[in-house]
Structure 1
Amino acid sequence: VVSLLEGGLLRSSSTFPYFFLVALEAGSPLRALLLLAFFPIVWILTHILQCRDADIRLYAFVTFAGLHDAAVRCVARAVLPKAFLDDVHRGVHRVFATCDRRYVVTSLPRVMVESFAKSFLETEHVLGSELHVTRGGWYTGLVRGIPRGRERYRAVKELNSPDIGIGSDSFAELCKKAYIVGDHDGDGEQAKISAPPLIFHDGRLVHRPTPLWALTILLWLPFAIPLAITRILLGICLPKRVALPVEHLLGVSVRVRGRLPPRIFQPSQRGVLFVLSHRTLLDPVFISFVMGQAVAAVTYSLSRVSELFSPIRTARLTRCKDRDARSMTRLLAQGHLAVCPEGTTCRQPCLLRFSALFAELTDTIVPVSLATTMPVFHGTSARGWKCLDFLFFFMNPAVRYEMEFLEQLPPDQTCGGGGRSSHDVANHVQRLIADAMGYQCTTLTRKDKYRALAGNDGIVT
């Protein structure tokens, strides 16, 4: 089977969102703004003046000129698959997936599509535009071989007459069966591609940036940054029992279920160990706000800037088991402690493998499930500047935290009281939190995430 990507496997024929994501993530906000400014010009050239390849050539030049191949391939691997999957046509994909040999034809540069097509659509080959690259790996922004019209016909002809062609009338002469996707055939549908599932993805934008949505974000920014700064300063300066109601007035809502552990009133009183599912770096902060008193947190990849602005006490983990255990034990002796045993955040409804160290420290363990809703910006990043994570989180017009305090582990399900191994306890707590959230347990780790998204092991120096 051979299928056209845009307007075939994808419900929309617009290429703007994917160029915009590359311009923003591999380039800069200024480059993305320039691309958005070119949109009206491209629309006039392609829809009124009928300049067939003007959109690809102009978008590619603005997006790629001066970018390095490594940065673009990283974005194509970490950011673009989520945008493509959000627009996959269910009916077309159902037909496409039934065939053993699959080919995709696209006018987009092949470097943008190949990782997604081979990993999630399991295609054998991608026929796309080619970008000119210097010997040093830098893009010039020039495009050649855009597969449209006769170019598309010749490219498909070399595939030895596929049985099925989808998305273009030029496939009719070359394939035994040809399907044309109507303008509204995929409205309201989204494909559920099962193999392999998307677990890790990166990028700051929550939704696929159509031109209108990109313009909306641009118009929101002058309000978003002052709002975020105000929210951050109030969270730092106000007492913890007062901060939450004030933040609620500014669009930060928190929904709490379950029974909270008792507050600590004596400095010598040993605290509770909160074991959290990890959604953002602010998870322990909101636990502290809900408890109405200081809750310390142990972190691994917290930036110096985030650490400086943190309204709660934080301690860095070193990946040295004995040293980390001593540090966490000392914090528990002084009060409540929050730990995220996944070691990193995950945006999908999955829980990564839990580190077992927490189970060896205390038997007073309270699992807490956390979920967040962010409408515009993601408050996490694997590739970007992590020091801006909290700023992007608070730049959303409204954010929502949902947390459920589960029952404290019974003594017979802990290491000390029940004689269980730390790994058994960690796996049990992971299942409890996953069941409460309706999430899936996985054995994936922080290293798996960073290898998939950033090409490294996520080691912080």
Structure 2
Amino acid sequence: MREKLAAGRSLVLDVDAGLLLPSSSFPFPYFMLVALEAGGYLRGLVLLLLYPIILCMGGNSDVAVRFMAMTAFCGLRRSQFLAGCAVLPKWLMEDVAAEGFETMRMSGAAGGRRVCVTRKLPRVVIEGFLREYLDAEAVVGKEMKVLWGFYTGLLEEGDEGMLDEQQKIMLDGDDAVGFSGSLEFLQHSLARSCKVVLRDINFS
């Protein structure tokens, strides 16, 4: 498996089930940080009060994620979010699994391009961390709608619109290697572009 990873000219990494620890599958803490840092204590209090409802929605289900995104982002100025979330990348770094981090490192050392796919978190929440801390060349995920410089809190229905642009970044789909710990990732369009999808890598 190590040889397959090194041979791939592009790595497609599943952020949800390949990079982050299983314990971080519940995204509430990330949205709470956005609400507190970029939105203020009142927005954070509102999100906290809605916590029981979020749990009833399934916690990390698509409906719950959209509900948390709406609460944390609605009416937030885009520039305010970019300038205000300084702690978020540090929290994300603490939640990175050793296997996922080593996979990214090995791909970069081999000169491969790294494309990260986030299926739950909005792209705006995680893109800065992936690019600045892990040197990802591209990040594919749901877009947060912006109107007149303010976030509406609404997420795009899918990330299919990003695929054509991101696939151009890949040198050749047949040489792309995917990495994920979830079978759900295999349904993603970029996963279907990979020659092979690895679920476990022995670095010893």
TM-score bucket of the superposed structures, by smaller chain: 0.7 to 0.9
Tell me the CA shift for residue 179 of structure 1.
3.3
| 8 A contact 1:168–1:179 mirrored in 2 | no
| 8 A contact 2:39–2:76 mirrored in 1 | yes
Q: Structure 1 residues 140, 63: CA separation in 2 closer, same or farther (over 3 Å shift)? A: same
SS in 2 for 1:164: strand
Among 78, 89, 92, the alignment partner of 1:81 is: 89
Tell me the CA shift for residue 6 of structure 1.
2.5
Equivalents in 1 of 2:196, 2:156: separation in Å? 29
Higher relative contact order (CA closer than 8 Å, sequence separation 6+): 2
SS in 1 for 2:16: coil
Equivalents in 1 of 2:166, 2:76: separation in Å? 33
Among 122, 135, 149, the alignment partner of 1:109 is: 122
Equivalents in 1 of 2:166, 2:37: separation in Å? 36
Q: 1:349-428 residue pairs with structure 2 within 5 A?
A: none
Tell me the CA shift for residue 58 of structure 1.
0.4
Long gaps (5+) in structure 2: 1-10
| 8 A contact 1:26–1:75 mirrored in 2 | yes
Equivalents in 1 of 2:72, 2:157: separation in Å? 18
Residue 141 in structure 1 maps to residue 153 in structure 2? yes
Residue 8 in structure 1 maps to residue 27 in structure 2? no
Q: CA RMSD in A?
A: 2.6
Tell me the CA shift for residue 97 of structure 1.
1.7
Residue 164 in structure 1 maps to residue 178 in structure 2? yes
| 8 A contact 1:3–1:167 mirrored in 2 | no
Amino acid at match of 2:132: S
Give the aligned length.
172
Match of 1:38 in 2: 50
| 8 A contact 2:18–2:179 mirrored in 1 | no
Rg: which structure is higher? 1
Q: 1:178-193 residue pairs with structure 2 within 5 A?
A: 178-180=197-199
Equivalents in 2 of 1:86, 1:114: separation in Å? 16
Amino acid at match of 1:66: G
Structure with greater helix percent:
2
Amino acid at match of 1:46: G
Equivalents in 1 of 2:147, 2:199: separation in Å? 38
Match of 2:4 in 1: none
Q: Structure 1 residues 88, 52: CA separation in 2 closer, same or farther (over 3 Å shift)? A: closer
Q: Structure 1 residues 157, 89: CA separation in 2 closer, same or farther (over 3 Å shift)? A: same
Match of 2:72 in 1: 63
Q: Structure 1 residues 128, 155: CA separation in 2 closer, same or farther (over 3 Å shift)? A: farther
Equivalents in 2 of 1:25, 1:46: separation in Å? 25
Q: Structure 1 residues 173, 139: CA separation in 2 closer, same or farther (over 3 Å shift)? A: closer
SS in 1 for 2:117: strand
Long gaps (5+) in structure 1: 182-461
Equivalents in 2 of 1:112, 1:133: separation in Å? 14
| 8 A contact 2:17–2:180 mirrored in 1 | no
Aligned identity (percent) is: 37
Equivalents in 1 of 2:97, 2:114: separation in Å? 16
Tell me the CA shift for residue 61 of structure 1.
0.6
| 8 A contact 1:157–1:174 mirrored in 2 | no
Q: Structure 1 residues 55, 155: CA separation in 2 closer, same or farther (over 3 Å shift)? A: farther
The two structures have a TM-score, normalised by structure 1, of 0.34
Amino acid at match of 1:124: E
Q: Structure 1 residues 133, 63: CA separation in 2 closer, same or farther (over 3 Å shift)? A: same
Amino acid at match of 2:49: A
| 8 A contact 1:42–1:58 mirrored in 2 | yes
Match of 1:175 in 2: 194
Match of 1:21 in 2: 33
Match of 2:142 in 1: 129
Q: Structure 1 residues 122, 41: CA separation in 2 closer, same or farther (over 3 Å shift)? A: same
Amino acid at match of 1:120: Y
SS in 1 for 2:126: helix
Residue-by-residue CA offset, 1:399-443 (whole Å, 9 max, x unaligned):
xxxxxxxxxxxxxxxxxxxxxxxxxxxxxxxxxxxxxxxxxxxxx
Residue-by-residue CA offset, 1:331-374 (whole Å, 9 max, x unaligned):
xxxxxxxxxxxxxxxxxxxxxxxxxxxxxxxxxxxxxxxxxxxx
| 8 A contact 1:6–1:15 mirrored in 2 | no
Equivalents in 2 of 1:39, 1:8: separation in Å? 26
Q: Structure 1 residues 18, 156: CA separation in 2 closer, same or farther (over 3 Å shift)? A: farther
Q: Structure 1 residues 166, 7: CA separation in 2 closer, same or farther (over 3 Å shift)? A: closer
